[in-house]
Amino acid sequence: MEWTLEASVDELDHGLYLLDLGFQNRKQVVAAYLLVSDDELVLIETGPGSTIDHLRRAMRRIGFTSRDLTRIFVTHIHLDHAGAAGLLARENPALTVHVHPFGAPHLVDPTKLINSATRIYGDQMGPLWGEFAPIPENQVVPFEDEQVLRVAGRDIQVYFTPGHAWHHVAFWDRGTGTLFTGDVGGVRMPGQTYVCAPTPPPDLDPGAWANSVARMEALHPRRLCLTHFGPVYDPGYHLSQVMPEVEKFIGLGGDLFERGADQDRVRQALTAQMTADLGGADPEVLANYEMATPAYMAAMGIERYVRKRNG
Ligand SMILES: [Zn+2]
The reply to whether 1-99+101-142 and 154-311 are identical in fold is yes
* C-alpha 92 to ligand 1 mean position (Å): 25
DSSP 130-169: -------GGGEEE--TT-EEEETTEEEEEEE--SSSTT-E
* Fold type of domain 154-311: Metallo-beta-lactamase; Chain A (3.60.15)
* C-alpha 82 to ligand 1 mean position (Å): 10
* C-alpha 293 to ligand 1 mean position (Å): 7
Q: What was the pLDDT predicted at 46?
A: 98
Sign for the CA dihedral angle at 166, 232, 129, 74 comes to: negative
End-to-end CA distance of the chain: 43
In whole angstroms, give the CA distance from residue 164 to residue 273: 20
Q: What was the pLDDT predicted at 281?
A: 83
DSSP 230-274: EEES-HHHHHHHHHHHHHHHHHHHHHHHHTT--HHHHHHHHHHHH
Question: Which residues face 180 on adjacent strands?
Answer: 171, 225
* C-alpha 99 to ligand 1 mean position (Å): 15
| Mean predicted lDDT score pLDDT of the chain | 97
Rounded to two decimals, the pTM is 0.97
User: What are the extents of the domains in the chain?
Assistant: 1-99+101-142, 154-311
* C-alpha 284 to ligand 1 mean position (Å): 18
In whole angstroms, give the CA distance from residue 236 to residue 252: 25
Question: Which residues face 226 on adjacent strands?
Answer: 182, 230
CB contact burial 45-71 (16+ within 10 A = b; e otherwise): bbbbbbbbebbeebbeeeebebeebbb
Question: Of all helices (H) and strands (E), which one includes residue 114?
Answer: helix 111-121
Task: Reply yes or no on whether the pLDDT at 311 is more than 90.
Answer: no
* C-alpha 23 to ligand 1 mean position (Å): 12
CB burial of residue 2 (10 Å; 0-12, 13-18, 19+): exposed
In whole angstroms, give the CA distance from residue 197 to residue 186: 5
Report pLDDT digits (tens) over 238-264.
999 999 999 999 999 999 999 999 999
Report pLDDT digits (tens) over 275-296.
999 988 899 999 999 999 999 9
- CATH code linked to domain 1-99+101-142: 3.60.15.10
* C-alpha 296 to ligand 1 mean position (Å): 14
Q: What mean pLDDT do residues 57-86 have?
A: 97
CA angle 206, 226, 100 (to 5 degrees): 60
* C-alpha 31 to ligand 1 mean position (Å): 10
* C-alpha 136 to ligand 1 mean position (Å): 24
CA angle 216, 221, 225 (to 5 degrees): 85
What percent of the residues of the chain are helix, what percent strand, and what percent coil, each to the nearest 5? 45, 20, 35
Q: What was the pLDDT predicted at 231?
A: 98
In whole angstroms, give the CA distance from residue 57 to residue 64: 9
Q: What mean pLDDT do residues 207-213 have?
A: 98
* C-alpha 216 to ligand 1 mean position (Å): 18
Report pLDDT digits (tens) over 24-53.
999 999 999 999 999 999 999 999 999 999
